[in-house]
Structure 1
Amino acid sequence: MVDVVLPDLHLRLATDSGVFSPGRLDPGTRVLLESVPPPPHEGDLLDLGCGYGPVALTMASRAPEATVWAVDVNRRALELCERNAKSSGLYKVRAVHVDEVPPRVRFSLIWSNPAIRIGKPALHAMLTRWLDRLTPDGAAYLVVQKHLGSDSLQRWLGERGWETTRAASRSAYRVLRVAARASADEVSEGGPATDDKER
């Protein structure tokens, strides 16, 4: 079991070997959860790479009327996240495989401690897939270790049309705020453009 103790909540979560940081709340995840502004009260929110659920369940605790999509590729992690949500009385958490989120769903908020170690090509593909599903006024908050490339990731995101700023910096971590980028329709109408050579 892992206790997630934050100023506004206390969650006791079941974990298991084979999931991310099973013995304690990962320090980067703690920085993220202690740094982000409150989530929207309603709508669809996303925890990308949910593991056993500390981020998704914090989201759901802070926004009980919202639907929180907790996605991962690890089926064991999804089972734990679903069990932890039920035991915490958070019934609007949907723990699903990354390929099981309906394509119509758009997110007003994404929180993630992304799996940087999967390598840049896979990381960039994953982020592109999900950041392009932000609502026009939506935003993502990503926590990244400084020595694992937070600055280069910030540059890469900006070059591809996502306005990215540093929302917080603490210990060895940075929290990046990523705004939704303009759609193709907005660009053709004279809105913020992206560099086609980089897409």
Structure 2
Amino acid sequence: MGEHYFAPKPAAAGRPRTIDLVLPDLHLRLNTDSGVFSPDRIDLGTRILLETAPPPPPTGTLLDLGCGYGPIALTLASRSPQASVVGVDVNERALELARGNARIADLDNVRFELAQDADPAARYDALWSNPPIRIGKAALHELLLTWLPRLSPGALAHLVVQKHLGSDSLQRWLDGQGYPTTRLASRSAYRVLAVHTPAESTAADGTNGPVADGA
């Protein structure tokens, strides 16, 4: 599974298809392909996040961490047309799909880039993610401790995680890292978590803010 959609260049042969994301306030038709996360349908966790989390900030820079072919980022861009949305991923095939989906949806306030190419000095006013839990606990902790400190002081992150894949232990771990975390919703064995960042400034490497404890 790791190579299937965590690899920069998936080896799976292409099998393009089109799916629909239908929410009460929008309808997006999205192109997908093999080698990306949930190519046959909108992942249930993603849908629950988009249906239950509060509206994104109307302005500022909003981040979709692990954007895949773009359902979360494009929803944020549609719901907050005055905001700038950034989607990051390691999967180049997914990013190309996301860029094409943004063009189809005529959303020009969103861009997609490789995670390693993102400016480490950039700051974000919100983070939304259906994080790649299956990369393993240590890698997930490293991922979160790379990106959460890039949030602006007082900004919120919203994560969706399956209960049986460790949502409750992740909530406790985030609390222990200095990111107070509350459960906003619980549905179909998924938890939607709100992660609160410190009010004071936090450096991208964790200086003067929450730091890793060795994950």
TM over 0.5: yes
Q: 2: CA distance between counterparts of 1:5 and 1:125? A: 33
- Aligned position for 2:96: 79
Report matched runs for 1:22-37 at 5 Å: 22-37=39-54
Contact 2:182–2:194 (CA under 8 A) maintained in structure 1:
yes
Counterpart residue type for residue 112 of structure 1: S
Q: What runs of 5+ residues in structure 1 fail to find an aligned partner?
A: 186-192
Question: How far did 1:137 drift?
Answer: 1.8
Secondary structure in 1 matching 2:32:
coil
Among all aligned residue pairs of Structure 1 and Structure 2, give the percentage whose two residues are the same amino acid: 60
Report matched runs for 1:31-50 at 5 Å: 31-50=48-67
Give per-residue Cα distances to partners, 1:108-155, cap 9 Å, x unaligned: 111100000000110000001110111112010000000000000000
1:146 aligns with 2:163: yes
- Aligned position for 1:5: 22
Q: What runs of 5+ residues in structure 2 fail to find an aligned partner?
A: 1-17, 203-208
Contact 1:166–1:174 (CA under 8 A) maintained in structure 2:
yes
TM-score by length of 2: 0.85
Q: 1: CA distance between counterparts of 2:213 and 2:84? A: 36
Contact 1:165–1:177 (CA under 8 A) maintained in structure 2:
yes
Question: How far did 1:103 drift?
Answer: 2.2
Question: How far did 1:104 drift?
Answer: 2.5
Give per-residue Cα distances to partners, 1:19-41, cap 9 Å, x unaligned: 00000000000000001111111
Aligned residues: 193
Contact 2:73–2:86 (CA under 8 A) maintained in structure 1:
yes
TM-score by length of 1: 0.92
Q: 2: CA distance between counterparts of 1:53 and 1:69? A: 10
- Aligned position for 1:125: 142
Report matched runs for 1:32-181 at 5 Å: 32-181=49-198
Going from structure 1 to structure 2, the CA distance change for 1:117 and 1:94 (only over 3 Å counts) comes to same
**Aligned match of 1:16 in 26, 33, 48?**
33
